[in-house]
Protein backbone atom coordinates (compact mmCIF):
# COMPACT_ATOMS: atom_id res chain seq x y z
CA UNK A 1 0.00 0.00 0.00
CA UNK A 2 1.33 3.41 -1.01
CA UNK A 3 0.37 6.30 1.28
CA UNK A 4 0.58 9.70 -0.38
CA UNK A 5 -0.20 13.18 0.96
CA UNK A 6 -1.26 15.84 -1.54
CA UNK A 7 -1.25 19.45 -0.41
CA UNK A 8 -2.46 22.48 -2.33
CA UNK A 9 -5.21 25.02 -1.95
CA UNK A 10 -6.46 28.54 -1.58
CA UNK A 11 -7.50 28.75 -5.23
CA UNK A 12 -8.70 26.36 -7.91
CA UNK A 13 -5.33 26.83 -9.60
CA UNK A 14 -3.73 24.88 -6.75
CA UNK A 15 -6.60 22.55 -5.87
CA UNK A 16 -7.53 21.05 -9.23
CA UNK A 17 -4.00 20.11 -10.33
CA UNK A 18 -3.76 18.17 -7.07
CA UNK A 19 -7.10 16.49 -7.77
CA UNK A 20 -6.00 15.63 -11.32
CA UNK A 21 -2.93 13.88 -9.94
CA UNK A 22 -5.04 12.12 -7.30
CA UNK A 23 -7.27 10.78 -10.07
CA UNK A 24 -4.21 9.61 -12.03
CA UNK A 25 -2.85 7.86 -8.92
CA UNK A 26 -6.17 6.05 -8.44
CA UNK A 27 -6.17 5.00 -12.09
CA UNK A 28 -2.61 3.70 -11.78
CA UNK A 29 -2.77 1.94 -8.40
CA UNK A 30 -6.46 1.45 -7.61
CA UNK A 31 -6.93 0.05 -4.11
CA UNK A 32 -3.17 -0.11 -3.59
CA UNK A 33 -2.89 3.63 -2.88
CA UNK A 34 -4.24 5.64 0.05
CA UNK A 35 -4.51 9.40 -0.41
CA UNK A 36 -4.80 12.21 2.10
CA UNK A 37 -5.13 15.89 1.24
CA UNK A 38 -3.82 18.60 3.55
CA UNK A 39 -5.32 22.07 3.22
CA UNK A 40 -5.77 25.31 5.14
CA UNK A 41 -8.68 25.81 7.52
CA UNK A 42 -11.35 28.10 6.11
CA UNK A 43 -10.07 27.89 2.53
CA UNK A 44 -12.01 26.53 -0.44
CA UNK A 45 -10.21 23.16 -0.49
CA UNK A 46 -11.90 22.23 2.81
CA UNK A 47 -15.22 22.20 0.93
CA UNK A 48 -14.16 21.16 -2.58
CA UNK A 49 -11.97 18.15 -1.73
CA UNK A 50 -14.49 16.26 0.48
CA UNK A 51 -17.17 16.93 -2.16
CA UNK A 52 -15.01 14.94 -4.58
CA UNK A 53 -14.78 12.02 -2.15
CA UNK A 54 -11.29 12.56 -0.71
CA UNK A 55 -10.15 12.89 2.91
CA UNK A 56 -8.64 16.21 3.94
CA UNK A 57 -6.98 17.58 7.07
CA UNK A 58 -7.00 21.33 7.66
CA UNK A 59 -4.07 23.27 9.11
CA UNK A 60 -4.53 26.62 10.90
CA UNK A 61 -2.03 28.28 8.54
CA UNK A 62 -2.65 31.78 7.21
CA UNK A 63 -0.71 34.26 5.11
CA UNK A 64 0.35 37.78 5.91
CA UNK A 65 -2.06 40.52 4.89
CA UNK A 66 -0.46 43.01 2.49
CA UNK A 67 -1.91 45.93 4.39
CA UNK A 68 -1.26 46.63 8.08
CA UNK A 69 -3.64 44.32 9.92
CA UNK A 70 -3.73 43.06 13.50
CA UNK A 71 -4.40 39.55 12.17
CA UNK A 72 -0.74 39.50 11.06
CA UNK A 73 0.27 39.26 14.74
CA UNK A 74 -1.24 35.78 14.92
CA UNK A 75 0.53 34.45 11.82
CA UNK A 76 3.76 33.23 13.53
CA UNK A 77 1.72 31.27 16.09
CA UNK A 78 -0.42 29.74 13.33
CA UNK A 79 2.73 28.72 11.47
CA UNK A 80 4.14 26.94 14.54
CA UNK A 81 0.82 25.18 15.21
CA UNK A 82 0.60 24.17 11.55
CA UNK A 83 4.13 22.71 11.59
CA UNK A 84 3.31 20.65 14.69
CA UNK A 85 0.04 19.44 13.19
CA UNK A 86 1.73 18.69 9.85
CA UNK A 87 4.34 16.51 11.57
CA UNK A 88 1.63 14.70 13.51
CA UNK A 89 -0.43 14.14 10.36
CA UNK A 90 2.54 12.77 8.39
CA UNK A 91 3.49 10.43 11.24
CA UNK A 92 -0.05 9.19 11.91
CA UNK A 93 -0.85 8.66 8.23
CA UNK A 94 2.51 6.99 7.60
CA UNK A 95 3.16 9.00 4.42
CA UNK A 96 5.58 7.53 1.89
CA UNK A 97 5.76 10.82 -0.02
CA UNK A 98 4.32 14.36 0.20
CA UNK A 99 3.41 16.26 -2.97
CA UNK A 100 2.95 20.04 -2.86
CA UNK A 101 0.94 22.06 -5.39
CA UNK A 102 1.18 25.51 -3.82
CA UNK A 103 -1.09 27.41 -1.46
CA UNK A 104 -0.79 28.16 2.25
CA UNK A 105 -0.91 24.58 3.52
CA UNK A 106 1.73 23.12 1.23
CA UNK A 107 4.56 25.06 2.90
CA UNK A 108 4.32 23.62 6.45
CA UNK A 109 3.55 20.09 5.31
CA UNK A 110 6.45 20.00 2.83
CA UNK A 111 8.79 21.62 5.35
CA UNK A 112 7.80 19.09 8.02
CA UNK A 113 8.15 16.15 5.63
CA UNK A 114 11.64 17.21 4.59
CA UNK A 115 12.75 17.52 8.22
CA UNK A 116 11.31 14.05 8.91
CA UNK A 117 13.15 12.45 5.97
CA UNK A 118 9.95 11.83 3.96
CA UNK A 119 10.46 12.33 0.19
CA UNK A 120 8.77 15.41 -1.28
CA UNK A 121 7.72 16.42 -4.80
CA UNK A 122 6.78 19.94 -5.90
CA UNK A 123 4.51 20.82 -8.81
CA UNK A 124 5.01 24.41 -9.98
CA UNK A 125 2.22 25.57 -12.29
CA UNK A 126 3.57 28.95 -13.33
CA UNK A 127 6.50 30.22 -15.39
CA UNK A 128 7.70 32.29 -12.42
CA UNK A 129 8.18 30.36 -9.19
CA UNK A 130 6.98 31.77 -5.90
CA UNK A 131 9.29 32.36 -2.93
CA UNK A 132 7.95 29.39 -0.94
CA UNK A 133 8.52 26.88 -3.72
CA UNK A 134 12.01 28.24 -4.38
CA UNK A 135 12.93 27.61 -0.73
CA UNK A 136 11.26 24.19 -0.46
CA UNK A 137 12.74 23.00 -3.75
CA UNK A 138 16.13 22.72 -2.09
CA UNK A 139 14.91 19.67 -0.19
CA UNK A 140 12.59 18.19 -2.84
CA UNK A 141 13.38 14.97 -4.72
CA UNK A 142 11.55 16.09 -7.86
CA UNK A 143 10.26 19.45 -9.16
CA UNK A 144 7.60 19.08 -11.84
CA UNK A 145 7.26 22.17 -14.01
CA UNK A 146 5.01 23.37 -16.83
CA UNK A 147 7.53 25.69 -18.48
CA UNK A 148 11.07 25.39 -19.78
CA UNK A 149 13.87 27.52 -18.34
CA UNK A 150 12.96 26.96 -14.68
CA UNK A 151 16.64 26.38 -13.82
CA UNK A 152 16.78 30.02 -12.72
CA UNK A 153 14.55 29.07 -9.79
CA UNK A 154 15.25 25.41 -9.02
CA UNK A 155 18.15 22.92 -8.94
CA UNK A 156 18.50 21.81 -12.56
CA UNK A 157 19.16 18.16 -11.73
CA UNK A 158 15.74 17.77 -10.09
CA UNK A 159 13.54 19.57 -12.63
CA UNK A 160 11.23 17.47 -14.81
CA UNK A 161 9.13 19.18 -17.51
CA UNK A 162 5.73 17.52 -17.08
CA UNK A 163 3.17 20.20 -17.94
CA UNK A 164 0.23 21.16 -15.75
CA UNK A 165 -2.19 18.36 -14.82
CA UNK A 166 -5.80 19.05 -15.82
CA UNK A 167 -9.07 17.41 -14.95
CA UNK A 168 -11.24 16.46 -17.90
CA UNK A 169 -10.27 15.54 -21.41
CA UNK A 170 -9.34 18.63 -23.38
CA UNK A 171 -8.00 18.12 -26.89
CA UNK A 172 -7.75 19.87 -30.25
CA UNK A 173 -10.49 17.62 -31.65
CA UNK A 174 -12.77 18.26 -28.67
CA UNK A 175 -16.55 18.45 -28.97
CA UNK A 176 -18.43 18.71 -32.26
CA UNK A 177 -18.39 22.34 -33.40
CA UNK A 178 -21.89 22.32 -34.91
CA UNK A 179 -23.31 20.84 -31.71
CA UNK A 180 -21.40 23.39 -29.63
CA UNK A 181 -22.75 26.32 -31.67
CA UNK A 182 -26.31 25.01 -31.28
CA UNK A 183 -25.74 24.74 -27.52
CA UNK A 184 -25.06 28.50 -27.39
CA UNK A 185 -27.69 29.46 -29.96
CA UNK A 186 -25.03 30.67 -32.39
CA UNK A 187 -24.56 30.26 -36.12
CA UNK A 188 -21.89 28.61 -38.24
CA UNK A 189 -21.84 31.64 -40.52
CA UNK A 190 -19.90 33.99 -38.21
CA UNK A 191 -16.52 33.76 -36.45
CA UNK A 192 -16.84 33.17 -32.70
CA UNK A 193 -14.92 34.87 -29.87
CA UNK A 194 -14.91 33.33 -26.39
CA UNK A 195 -14.46 35.90 -23.60
CA UNK A 196 -13.81 34.19 -20.29
CA UNK A 197 -12.66 35.66 -16.99
CA UNK A 198 -13.03 32.93 -14.38
CA UNK A 199 -15.87 31.81 -12.13
CA UNK A 200 -16.18 35.14 -10.28
CA UNK A 201 -15.65 37.16 -13.43
CA UNK A 202 -13.24 39.90 -14.42
CA UNK A 203 -14.18 43.57 -14.31
CA UNK A 204 -11.72 44.52 -17.07
CA UNK A 205 -13.03 41.99 -19.60
CA UNK A 206 -16.64 42.85 -18.78
CA UNK A 207 -15.94 46.56 -19.28
CA UNK A 208 -14.23 45.68 -22.57
CA UNK A 209 -17.37 43.90 -23.75
CA UNK A 210 -19.64 46.74 -22.66
CA UNK A 211 -17.55 49.31 -24.51
CA UNK A 212 -17.46 47.16 -27.65
CA UNK A 213 -21.23 46.56 -27.64
CA UNK A 214 -21.91 50.30 -27.23
CA UNK A 215 -19.44 51.12 -29.99
CA UNK A 216 -20.91 48.62 -32.46
CA UNK A 217 -24.51 49.33 -31.55
CA UNK A 218 -25.05 45.63 -30.85
CA UNK A 219 -24.24 44.47 -34.37
CA UNK A 220 -20.85 43.15 -35.45
CA UNK A 221 -19.31 40.66 -37.91
CA UNK A 222 -18.58 38.21 -35.09
CA UNK A 223 -20.50 36.38 -32.39
CA UNK A 224 -19.42 36.14 -28.75
CA UNK A 225 -19.66 33.65 -25.91
CA UNK A 226 -19.35 36.00 -22.92
CA UNK A 227 -18.75 34.50 -19.50
CA UNK A 228 -19.36 37.37 -17.10
CA UNK A 229 -18.84 35.60 -13.76
CA UNK A 230 -21.15 35.21 -10.81
CA UNK A 231 -20.13 38.50 -9.18
CA UNK A 232 -21.07 40.59 -12.23
CA UNK A 233 -24.03 38.59 -13.55
CA UNK A 234 -26.89 40.92 -12.59
CA UNK A 235 -25.01 44.03 -13.67
CA UNK A 236 -24.21 42.59 -17.09
CA UNK A 237 -27.72 41.25 -17.59
CA UNK A 238 -29.06 44.74 -16.86
CA UNK A 239 -26.56 46.20 -19.35
CA UNK A 240 -27.66 43.80 -22.10
CA UNK A 241 -31.31 44.55 -21.39
CA UNK A 242 -30.54 48.23 -22.01
CA UNK A 243 -28.17 47.53 -24.94
CA UNK A 244 -29.46 44.49 -26.88
CA UNK A 245 -26.67 42.77 -28.80
CA UNK A 246 -27.16 40.32 -31.63
CA UNK A 247 -25.15 37.10 -31.60
CA UNK A 248 -23.99 37.41 -27.97
CA UNK A 249 -24.43 34.58 -25.47
CA UNK A 250 -23.98 35.78 -21.90
CA UNK A 251 -23.76 33.64 -18.76
CA UNK A 252 -22.24 33.70 -15.29
CA UNK A 253 -20.67 30.26 -15.74
CA UNK A 254 -19.70 28.00 -18.59
CA UNK A 255 -20.56 24.45 -17.58
CA UNK A 256 -19.36 22.90 -20.84
CA UNK A 257 -15.92 24.35 -21.53
CA UNK A 258 -15.41 21.69 -24.18
CA UNK A 259 -18.36 23.21 -26.09
CA UNK A 260 -17.06 26.75 -25.55
CA UNK A 261 -13.63 25.87 -26.93
CA UNK A 262 -15.14 23.90 -29.84
CA UNK A 263 -17.32 26.85 -30.86
CA UNK A 264 -14.57 29.47 -30.52
CA UNK A 265 -12.26 30.63 -33.28
CA UNK A 266 -10.36 32.82 -30.82
CA UNK A 267 -10.28 33.30 -27.04
CA UNK A 268 -9.83 36.43 -24.92
CA UNK A 269 -8.85 35.33 -21.44
CA UNK A 270 -6.87 35.75 -18.26
CA UNK A 271 -3.64 33.72 -18.15
CA UNK A 272 -3.73 31.58 -15.04
CA UNK A 273 -1.67 28.39 -15.29
CA UNK A 274 -4.65 26.07 -15.77
CA UNK A 275 -6.19 28.23 -18.48
CA UNK A 276 -2.87 28.43 -20.34
CA UNK A 277 -2.54 24.64 -20.25
CA UNK A 278 -6.11 24.15 -21.48
CA UNK A 279 -5.58 26.52 -24.39
CA UNK A 280 -2.43 24.65 -25.42
CA UNK A 281 -4.37 21.39 -25.42
CA UNK A 282 -7.26 22.75 -27.49
CA UNK A 283 -4.84 24.84 -29.61
CA UNK A 284 -7.15 27.87 -29.69
CA UNK A 285 -5.58 31.21 -30.70
CA UNK A 286 -5.69 33.54 -27.74
CA UNK A 287 -5.43 37.17 -26.67
CA UNK A 288 -4.29 37.10 -23.05
CA UNK A 289 -5.21 39.91 -20.65
CA UNK A 290 -3.19 38.97 -17.54
CA UNK A 291 -4.58 39.85 -14.14
CA UNK A 292 -2.37 42.43 -12.40
CA UNK A 293 -3.71 41.38 -9.00
CA UNK A 294 -1.84 38.10 -8.45
CA UNK A 295 1.31 37.19 -6.54
CA UNK A 296 4.60 37.76 -8.37
CA UNK A 297 2.59 39.02 -11.39
CA UNK A 298 2.73 35.39 -12.55
CA UNK A 299 -0.11 35.71 -15.07
CA UNK A 300 1.85 38.25 -17.09
CA UNK A 301 4.90 36.00 -16.99
CA UNK A 302 2.81 32.98 -18.09
CA UNK A 303 1.35 34.94 -21.00
CA UNK A 304 4.66 36.45 -22.08
CA UNK A 305 6.25 32.98 -22.12
CA UNK A 306 3.72 31.96 -24.80
CA UNK A 307 3.96 35.27 -26.62
CA UNK A 308 7.74 34.81 -27.03
CA UNK A 309 6.99 31.52 -28.80
CA UNK A 310 4.45 33.13 -31.13
CA UNK A 311 1.64 31.20 -29.43
CA UNK A 312 -0.34 34.13 -27.98
CA UNK A 313 -0.96 37.88 -28.06
CA UNK A 314 -0.75 39.81 -24.78
CA UNK A 315 -2.68 43.00 -23.98
CA UNK A 316 -2.04 44.68 -20.58
CA UNK A 317 -5.08 44.84 -18.31
CA UNK A 318 -5.08 48.64 -18.28
CA UNK A 319 -5.37 48.70 -22.08
CA UNK A 320 -7.79 45.85 -22.68
CA UNK A 321 -10.96 47.99 -22.74
CA UNK A 322 -9.90 49.68 -25.97
CA UNK A 323 -7.34 47.30 -27.49
CA UNK A 324 -8.30 43.67 -26.84
CA UNK A 325 -11.37 43.29 -29.03
CA UNK A 326 -9.92 45.26 -32.00
CA UNK A 327 -6.79 43.06 -31.83
CA UNK A 328 -8.98 39.95 -31.73
CA UNK A 329 -10.85 41.12 -34.84
CA UNK A 330 -7.56 41.75 -36.65
CA UNK A 331 -6.46 38.20 -35.89
CA UNK A 332 -9.78 36.73 -37.00
CA UNK A 333 -9.29 38.43 -40.38
CA UNK A 334 -5.88 36.74 -40.78
CA UNK A 335 -6.55 33.02 -41.13
CA UNK A 336 -2.88 32.26 -41.71
CA UNK A 337 -1.88 33.96 -38.45
CA UNK A 338 -4.59 32.04 -36.57
CA UNK A 339 -3.44 28.73 -38.03
CA UNK A 340 0.20 29.44 -37.12
CA UNK A 341 -0.73 30.40 -33.55
CA UNK A 342 -2.76 27.20 -33.24
CA UNK A 343 0.22 25.12 -34.43
CA UNK A 344 2.54 26.78 -31.93
CA UNK A 345 0.08 26.24 -29.07
CA UNK A 346 -0.34 22.59 -29.96
CA UNK A 347 3.43 22.13 -29.87
CA UNK A 348 3.42 23.29 -26.23
CA UNK A 349 0.60 20.95 -25.13
CA UNK A 350 1.28 18.17 -22.62
CA UNK A 351 -1.87 16.04 -22.46
CA UNK A 352 -0.30 13.38 -20.22
CA UNK A 353 0.91 15.78 -17.50
CA UNK A 354 -0.86 14.02 -14.60
CA UNK A 355 0.57 10.64 -15.61
CA UNK A 356 4.06 12.14 -15.92
CA UNK A 357 3.78 13.56 -12.42
CA UNK A 358 2.70 10.17 -11.09
CA UNK A 359 5.85 8.72 -12.68
CA UNK A 360 7.95 11.25 -10.74
CA UNK A 361 6.11 10.56 -7.49
CA UNK A 362 6.91 6.86 -7.90
CA UNK A 363 10.57 7.66 -8.61
CA UNK A 364 10.73 9.90 -5.53
CA UNK A 365 9.57 7.01 -3.34
CA UNK A 366 12.12 4.55 -4.80
**Is 123 assigned a ligand-binding role in the annotation?**
no
**Is 145 assigned a ligand-binding role in the annotation?**
no
**Is 11 assigned a ligand-binding role in the annotation?**
yes
Task: Count Cβ atoms below 10 Å from residue 70 Cβ, excluding itself.
Answer: 7
Angle, CA of 183, 230 and 275, to the nearest 5°: 70
Pick the closest to residue 79 from 107, 119, 110 (CA basis): 107
**Is 250 assigned a ligand-binding role in the annotation?**
no
**Is 204 assigned a ligand-binding role in the annotation?**
no
3 state SS for the chain: CEEEEEECCCCHHHHHHHHHHHHHHHHHHHHHEEEEEEEECCCCHHHHHHHCCCCEEEECCCCCCCCCCHHHHHHHHHHHHHHHHHHHHHHHHCCCEEEECCCCCHHHHHHHHHHCCCCEEEEECCCCCCHHHHHHHHHCCEEEECCCCHHHCCCHHHEEECCCCCCCCCCCCCCCHHHHHHHCCCCCCCCEEEEECCCCCCHHHHHHHHHHHHHHCCCCCCEEEEECCCCCHHHHHHHHHHCCCCCEEEECCCCCHHHHHHHCCEEEECCCHHHHHHHHHHCCCEEECCCCCCHHHHHHHHHHHHHCCCCCEECCHHHHHHHHHHHHHHHHCCHHHHHHHHHHHHHHCCCCHHHHHHHHHHHHHC
**Is 223 assigned a ligand-binding role in the annotation?**
no
**Is 167 assigned a ligand-binding role in the annotation?**
yes
Cα–Cα distance measured from residue 207 to residue 205, given in angstroms and rounded to the nearest whole number: 5
**Is 63 assigned a ligand-binding role in the annotation?**
no
Pick the closest to residue 120 from 158, 151, 152 (CA basis): 158
Return binding residues for UDP-N-acetyl-alpha-D-glucosamine.
Answer: 11-13, 126, 167, 199, 254, 299
Return binding residues.
Answer: 11-13, 126, 167, 199, 254, 299
Amino acid sequence: MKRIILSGGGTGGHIYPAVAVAEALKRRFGEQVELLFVGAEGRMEMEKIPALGYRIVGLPIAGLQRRMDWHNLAVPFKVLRSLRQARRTIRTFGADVVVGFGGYASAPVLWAAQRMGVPTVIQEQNSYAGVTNKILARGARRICTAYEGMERFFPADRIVLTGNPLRGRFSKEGADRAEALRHYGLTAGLPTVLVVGGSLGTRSLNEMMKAWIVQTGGTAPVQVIWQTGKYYEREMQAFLAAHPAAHVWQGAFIERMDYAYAAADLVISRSGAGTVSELCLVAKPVVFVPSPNVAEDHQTKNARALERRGAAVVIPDAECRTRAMPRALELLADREALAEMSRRLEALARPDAAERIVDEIVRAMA
